[in-house]
Chains A and B, each alone.
Chain A
Amino acid sequence: MAGASSCSRTSPDSEVLRPRIIPCLLVHKGGLYKTVGFGQPKYVGDPLNAVRIFNEKEVDELMVIDIDASRHGKEPDYKLIANLALECRMPLCYGGGVKTVEQFDRIIGLGVEKVSVSSAAVDNPELIGRAAARVGSQSVVVVVDVKKTGLFRKAEVVTLNATKRVGLEPAAWVAKLQQLGAGEIVLNNVDRDGEMKGYDVDLVDDVRKATSLPLTVLGGAGSIDDLHALIRRHGVIGAAAGSLFVFKGKYRAVLINYPGRAEKDALCSAAMASS
């Protein structure tokens, strides 16, 4: 297979942008937790310790979301963010409690590459353009939480840990976010959170058509095969997961894990085969 050799750099025509495999870590009460359907938080460990392990595993990128901050109207925990950024030897995206350009600026100044917002983008769409003018659009990420709602189980955007329905259709909202100046979309399926039964393929297809921004998909990945399927279908895309990278086995024992270089080369080949 041409793809396989290209991604492992044995062919001359080998320069290629790779799909991104991204662990997503949730901060709750100062520790790392993993949820199911945005509930049932289970403790998985200390954030800085997890970052050190992910450093050793040469992770592509890391996403850390504080699930208490926006919900309780709190400021981001700048001390924790600074410590995470200091420790991370890979790019870091932080989300949680961010509402203003000043907060974007301050968090980037702590050494974070990307800052994500969710409810703030819905409440105040102009924030996206103003943040982009300050920190550059490449660092402005919008997390779009999606849940099937109502009688007809229609996909709808939700915020504040899925407690609030905002009446937006995912693809239309993502197209708008690109116009507003966002640099990346993280598409998170709330119904699949922690289920480990695969990504929501239809939702991803629908949203992918609506934007040319880098798209990262979260919610449902339970195996490397799930990452493969997503990448084979969509090429260069971000495949994010929580449970997959912190649990092992059917009893969900906490064990931080991540694909090795050979496994990642295979995922990269899948991306090349798709295009």
Chain B
Amino acid sequence: MIVIVDYGLGNIQAFANIYKRLDISVTFARSADDLVNATHIVLPGVGAFDWAMERLNGSGMRGALDRLVLEEKRPVLGICVGMQMMARRSDEGTAAGLGWFDADVRRFDESRIQGKTRLPHMGWNDVAPMSEQDLFNDLGDSARFYFLHSYYFAPHDPADVLATADYGDRFACAVRRGNVYGVQFHPEKSHGWGVQLLKNFAGL
């Protein structure tokens, strides 16, 4: 059972729709009890970092999430701010992150970005996976995803990087540490490429 964490942020319905179409059972968690039967956890998010942390910490699910992810090692996928929350901190705010990665969230350096449009990084960009396995299995070589952000996830250990994208500088747009996964782009809004990635996650 895929469980989508509903703490009031992000497009939970879009994920549920995709999994239903794939015939993969899915449900929402609004309390710690709802998380218990998760085989896989999806942590979405659209919002500012501090607001997202405040909502998650106030949801009553924080303790259960830490336990399921860190001790029971259930696969978890953070998306956009859901990914960024897995870091220790963010340039966007002052709240402490979940700290599931040895990583910080930084603001893009605008001076490095070519062209008249700078930030946010908005639109469809190509994604270069380190290997065509794991989350990026069966994605073909035309895979592109929708990005919408001004801050990026900077892991301290290069081994955590699963895929990169280029915006001014190359940055980690997908990361993995054991059972913990994060993607900066929006697979739920990236047509067939996103559907394939979410299917891959469900199969881990």
Chain A positions near chain B (C-beta within 8 angstroms): 9, 14-20, 55, 58, 60-61, 82, 85-86, 88-92, 108-114, 132-139, 183-184, 208, 212-215, 234-238, 275
In the assembled complex, B73 has its CB within 8 A of some CB on chain A:
no
Q: Chain A residues near B167 (CB, 8 Å)?
A: 17
In the assembled complex, B186 has its CB within 8 A of some CB on chain A:
yes
Among B47, B92, B127, B190, the residue within 8 A (CB) of A135 is: B47
15 A-B contacts (beta carbon < 8 Å): A15-B125, A17-B124, A17-B147, A18-B125, A20-B122, A89-B189, A89-B191, A114-B148, A134-B48, A136-B48, A136-B149, A138-B120, A183-B120, A212-B110, A214-B122
Tell whether, in the assembled complex, residue A236 and residue B117 are in contact, meaning their CB atoms are under 8 Å apart.
yes
B7-27 Cβ-contact flags toward A at 8 Å (1 or 0) = 011111110010000000000
Tell whether, in the assembled complex, residue B46 and residue A139 are in contact, meaning their CB atoms are under 8 Å apart.
yes
When chains A and B are docked, how far (Å) is the Cα of A212 from the Cα of B13? 33
In the assembled complex, B118 has its CB within 8 A of some CB on chain A:
yes
In the assembled complex, B91 has its CB within 8 A of some CB on chain A:
no
Q: Chain B residues near A183 (CB, 8 Å)?
A: 120, 122, 150
Q: Chain B residues near A92 (CB, 8 Å)?
A: 189
In the assembled complex, B178 has its CB within 8 A of some CB on chain A:
no
Tell whether, in the assembled complex, residue B126 and residue A14 are in contact, meaning their CB atoms are under 8 Å apart.
yes
When chains A and B are docked, how far (Å) is the Cα of A15 from the Cα of B163? 12
CB-based nearest A residue for B44: A111
- Given A15-B126, A134-B51, A139-B46, also A113-B11 (CB < 8 A): yes
Tell whether, in the assembled complex, residue B51 and residue A108 are in contact, meaning their CB atoms are under 8 Å apart.
no
CB-based nearest B residue for A87: B17
Tell whether, in the assembled complex, residue B14 and residue A9 are in contact, meaning their CB atoms are under 8 Å apart.
no
When chains A and B are docked, how far (Å) is the Cα of A58 from the Cα of B194? 12
In the assembled complex, B99 has its CB within 8 A of some CB on chain A:
no
Tell whether, in the assembled complex, residue A20 and residue B124 are in contact, meaning their CB atoms are under 8 Å apart.
yes
In the assembled complex, B132 has its CB within 8 A of some CB on chain A:
no
Tell whether, in the assembled complex, residue B46 and residue A212 are in contact, meaning their CB atoms are under 8 Å apart.
no
- Given A113-B46, A132-B48, also A214-B13 (CB < 8 A): no
When chains A and B are docked, how far (Å) is the Cα of A238 from the Cα of B122? 10
Tell whether, in the assembled complex, residue A113 and residue B48 are in contact, meaning their CB atoms are under 8 Å apart.
no
Tell whether, in the assembled complex, residue A9 and residue B115 are in contact, meaning their CB atoms are under 8 Å apart.
no
Tell whether, in the assembled complex, residue B13 and residue A85 are in contact, meaning their CB atoms are under 8 Å apart.
yes
- Given A90-B189, A91-B186, A136-B81, also A111-B148 (CB < 8 A): no
B139 to chain A, nearest CB (A): 12
Tell whether, in the assembled complex, residue B146 and residue A234 are in contact, meaning their CB atoms are under 8 Å apart.
no
CB-based nearest B residue for A134: B51
Give 5 nearest A-B pairs by CB, closest first. Answer: A111-B11, A138-B120, A212-B118, A15-B126, A15-B166
B91 to chain A, nearest CB (A): 13
B46 to chain A, nearest CB (A): 5
When chains A and B are docked, how far (Å) is the Cα of A14 from the Cα of B144? 11
When chains A and B are docked, how far (Å) is the Cα of A139 from the Cα of B10? 12
Among B10, B47, B125, B149, the residue within 8 A (CB) of A16 is: B125
CB-based nearest B residue for A183: B120
Q: Chain A residues near B51 (CB, 8 Å)?
A: 133-135
Q: Which of B137-171 contact A (CB under 8 A)?
A: 141-142, 144, 146-150, 165-167
Q: Chain B residues near A15 (CB, 8 Å)?
A: 125-128, 165-166
- Given A133-B51, A137-B120, A237-B117, also A90-B191 (CB < 8 A): yes
When chains A and B are docked, how far (Å) is the Cα of A123 from the Cα of B22? 46
When chains A and B are docked, how far (Å) is the Cα of A82 from the Cα of B12? 11
- Given A214-B117, A275-B115, also A88-B189 (CB < 8 A): yes
Q: Chain B residues near A235 (CB, 8 Å)?
A: 115-117
When chains A and B are docked, how far (Å) is the Cα of A238 from the Cα of B194? 22
B11 to chain A, nearest CB (A): 4
In the assembled complex, B114 has its CB within 8 A of some CB on chain A:
yes
A91 to chain B, nearest CB (A): 5
